[in-house]
Amino acid sequence: MTSATLTALGKFDRFRMRSGLPRDAVTCVVPSPFVHGDAGLLRVPDLKADPRDAAAHTAAIIRELPNIVEDARGALVLFSSRKQMQDVFDGLDRDWRKLVLIQGNLSKQETLNKHKARVDDGQHSVLFGLASFAEGVDLPGAYCEHVVIAKIPFAVPDDPVEAALAEWIEARGGNPFMEIAVPDASLKLIQACGRLLRTEQDRGVITLLDRRLVTQRYGKAILNALPPFRREIC
């Protein structure tokens, strides 16, 4: 089996647990063809807003987003919740809203095609999307020069299968947050960051708008599992 996202936090532990792979199974991490340090910059700015305070965090994104993506011909902004995505869109001024294509108004393919057509026509275009835009989306070159990620993509704890798995981990003395939530979020974040570099010629910026990456111990583990882009942490 081969995939770019079998590891979480740099290990195969998550995949072993979920797949039932025996501990003695041979695994291998093959180096990426991308020179991440040359091709991309990873920014973690200080928004002065805790992402756990939804209203304050949303207001900070509305305030800062136009400046963050203003130099990109094509940009992708990824949200963990539809409500925050819509609230940010509604909070932008009228001229900025004209640049944004928000997931849900058209089919996914129609949205991507319209975005590409705008960029091809020399216009700026910004995509607002949810989890389905964080994987399986191929926007090489100018189509995606900046990826903005609003929050660490923790799963909403409402899945009965995940709840049963958490109970099992607790029963054996484990920590479901560190053994499930953090590795899963790490994997999703790696997938989201993978939208930036689609060819070896691509260059761009990733901006993560969640300070927990540098203020929380688990955040630092997630940050260190990301591809080795150059970093700018404010």
Q: What is the pLDDT of residues 121-161, one digit of tens each?
A: 999 999 999 999 999 899 999 999 999 999 999 987 677 87
- 8 occurs within a structural domain: no
- 26 occurs within a structural domain: no
Q: Mean pLDDT, to the nearest integer, of 157-176?
A: 83
Res 82 pLDDT > 90: yes
Please name every residue paired with 42 in a beta bridge, in sequence order, or none if there are none: 206, 231
Residue 30: per-residue pLDDT? 66
- 186 occurs within a structural domain: yes
Residue 160: per-residue pLDDT? 82
- 11 occurs within a structural domain: no
Which residue has tokens 């080795």? 228
Confidence of residue 112 (pLDDT cuts 50, 70, 90): very high
CATH number at residue 212: 3.40.50.300
- 88 occurs within a structural domain: yes
Judge contact between 166 and 176, C-beta under 8 A.
yes
- 102 occurs within a structural domain: yes
- 83 occurs within a structural domain: yes
Q: Mean pLDDT, to the nearest integer, of 56-65?
A: 98
- 50 occurs within a structural domain: yes
Residue 145: per-residue pLDDT? 98
Which residue has tokens 């923790």? 154
Judge contact between 226 and 44, C-beta under 8 A.
no
> For the chain, what's the residue count?
234
Rounded to two decimals, what is the model's pTM? 0.87
Mean of per-residue pLDDT scores for the chain: 90
Residue 5: per-residue pLDDT? 60
DSSP alpha helix (H) spans, the chain: 13-19, 36-39, 54-69, 82-91, 94-97, 108-120, 160-171, 176, 182-193, 212-215, 217-224
Number of domains in the chain: 1
Domain span at residue 54 reads 35-233
